[in-house]
Structure 1
Amino acid sequence: MRHKAYVPGVALLAALVVGGCSAGGGADANGADSKPGTPTVSPAPPGRYATLPAPCRAVPRATLSDLLPGAAELPEDQREKAFRGAAAVTYDTDRKVGCSWKVDAPNATRSLVIDFERVVSYDPAVSDDDRADTVYERRKEAAGLSAPMVPGADAAATTGSGDKEKEKGKGKGDGETTDNTASPSSSASSSGGGDSSGGDSDSPDGTPGGDATGSGDPEDALPSRLLDNLGDAAFLQDLPKGADSTAQNHTVSVVFRTSNVVVTVRYAEQPALITQRPDGRELQEKAQALARKLAEKLSE
């Protein structure tokens, strides 16, 4: 009799335990009742580009002939080697590739280097594009162009004289023009005509065709600056020879970002004679033209 009296109590306790576990398991299974109001976090979208172009085939031969004067006059085997280029050593061609060309002509040596870097974010909260923008911003800062830019300042540097004078006067007052944010090399360039004023005639591609000082010095190119209408963001870094260097070398770099790819173009000239000076404006124009072609190729 005593044993039978305890049976209902044990049965009731077992039923309560089973029922409680079932209710708890249901809440944990769907997660809706355990943490009400918790937002659902979606991973950041991937970048537009999953692969990179073959760098040594990214520049058309006709463009290389223009960028590397003297290559066409080389013997056939040397000419083919020069146009073929040298691929950069890389261990992951899906992430980083590059190619370089160099031609030693009688009057000057021209060299060209292009580099493609596809940036991937391993943080689900940060998109590939945002991570690539961080890479680009670091390079811009290294070029001395990290300070804020007055809207339209770059356009003012390559448009009519009236707009130039307006932006020039504004820059002296607030110190925010592109010229004032340029790298140290830009100060030397701008002092010799980098900040063009009235009286210049503009070339069809938007680059001033005349020298602001009237000296006709080919090295008086526009200074380092941000560029418009090239990828999502772009800048040009002008690097004429150092003051203590006897070699008249001149290098121009154009860096731009499009989605999750950062592209760098470096174009340089080394004259054969120290009395000759490279045409900085020409180097800038050709480097920018090539950068725009590469941006178009990426968009294909």
Structure 2
Amino acid sequence: MQRKAYVPGLAALLVALVVGCTADSGTDGSAIDPKSGSSTSSVAQPGKYRTLREPCGSVPGSTLKDLLPGTGELPEEQQKKIFRGTAAVTYDTDRRVGCSWKADSPDASHHLSVDFERVVSYDGAVSDDDRAQEVFVTKQDAANLPVPADTADAEAGADGKQGQASPSTTPPVSKPATGTPAGTPASSATGTPDGLQPRVLDGLGDAAFLDDVLTGAGAGSTAQRRTVSVVFRTSNVIVTLVYGEQPARTTEVPDSKELQEKAQSLARKLAEEFSD
């Protein structure tokens, strides 16, 4: 009886075909990456801004003339020097920049500063915007905004106790120690008229607040100095604007309404520039 010849090459080919079919038998037709597992985790979105605006050029000369009264009467070269501003010293201009201006007149001295901070999250599960909001909330808590009078009254009526501000372990850094208890109506705590007290602002960036502080000018002086701060967040950038006035006469108190209106007007202009 004659035996059939055994062909090794044919057997190897059959084995290769069987293995190939087994490997391609996934339900969706794609191979599974052994390093990533069965699913890929999502990565948080980066912020809108990758760079920052040049701060000393962010305020137009016409606006500076309005915010720094008396500069319009100065010689042109002196005006240019004041309007040029002084850049803040930073170590990474892609992450933080700032500029300040100051002008003295016979009636008062005024100062202005802007600070741009670009927040970057190094946590893949937290977006730049979310991290920037955390930084913004920390700044707002540190401002220790007083409780509005109507809120304090409502809380006092609810539990029979004086209204308290939201609990925070962060000590106030933007207001002087006045001995004013938490829950005191805002107009009493800051010396500002009703409606002008430090507060959260609507319609400015993604979140914003305003602070207003009236202090003595320094040791041995009874002159009053008012400083208005507007802080807002737009995406992953936080803008801090500080505008202040100190009258030359010790009997005068800077007008809170005027300073706040000018500070908010500039803040809106800066917000528009970032949205361009």
Structure ranking higher in helix proportion? 1
Shift of 1:285: 1.1
1:235 corresponds in structure 2 to 209
Report the CA distance between 1:47 and its aligned residue.
Answer: 0.3
C-alpha deviation, 1:174, in angstroms: 5.2
Equivalence for 2:237: 261
Residue 281 of structure 1 pairs with residue 257 of structure 2: yes
Output the TM-score relative to the length of structure 2. 0.74
Residue 191 of structure 1 aligns to which amino acid in structure 2?
S
Structure 2 gaps, min length 5: 1-17, 167-171
**1:7 counterpart residue number:** none
Q: Relative to 1, partners in 2 of residues 1:254 and 1:34: Cα closer, same or farther, differing over 3 Å? A: closer
Quick check: 2:210–2:228 contact (8 Å CA) kept in 1? yes
Aligned to 1:9: none
Q: Tell me by how many angstroms 1:50 deviates.
A: 1.0
Contact 2:229 2:240 in 1 (8 A): yes
Looking at structure 1, the residues matched to 158 and 58 of structure 2 have their Cα atoms a distance apart, in angstroms, of 42
Shift of 1:69: 0.3
Deviations 1:137-192 (A, max 9, x none): 110110014x9x9xxxxxxx8xxxxxx98x786465359xx9966x7679586128
Whether the aligned pair in 1 keeps the contact of 2:217 and 2:225 (CA below 8 Å) is no
Q: CA deviation at 1:224?
A: 1.1
Deviates more, 1:186-195 or 1:119-128: 186-195
Aligned-pair identity in percent equals: 54
- Equivalent residue letter for 1:69: P
**In structure 1, how many angstroms separate the alpha carbons of the residues matched to 2:70 and 2:164?**
34
Closer/same/farther in 2, CA of residues 117 and 180 from structure 1, 3 Å limit: same
Any idea what SS the aligned residue of 1:50 has?
coil
Residue of structure 2 aligned with 1:271, choices 232, 237, 247: 247
Query: Aligned ranges for residues 80-229 of structure 1 at < 5 Å?
Result: 80-145=80-145, 170=154, 173=157, 190-191=187-188, 194=192, 196=194, 222-229=196-203
Q: 2:66: which partner in 1?
A: 66
SS where residue 44 of structure 1 aligns?
coil
SS in 2 for 1:268: strand
Aligned-residue CA RMSD (Å) = 4.0
Look up the equivalent residue of 2:214 and give its one-letter code: P
Contact map agreement 2:223 2:251 (CA 8 A) in 1: no
Distance 1:41 1:174 in 2: 46
Distance 1:132 1:33, change over 3 A: closer
CA deviation after TM superposition for structure 1 residue 260, in Å: 0.1
The alignment partner of 1:277 has SS state of coil
Distance 1:112 1:32 in 2: 57
Letter in 2 for 1:173: G
Q: Per-residue deviation at 1:49? A: 0.7
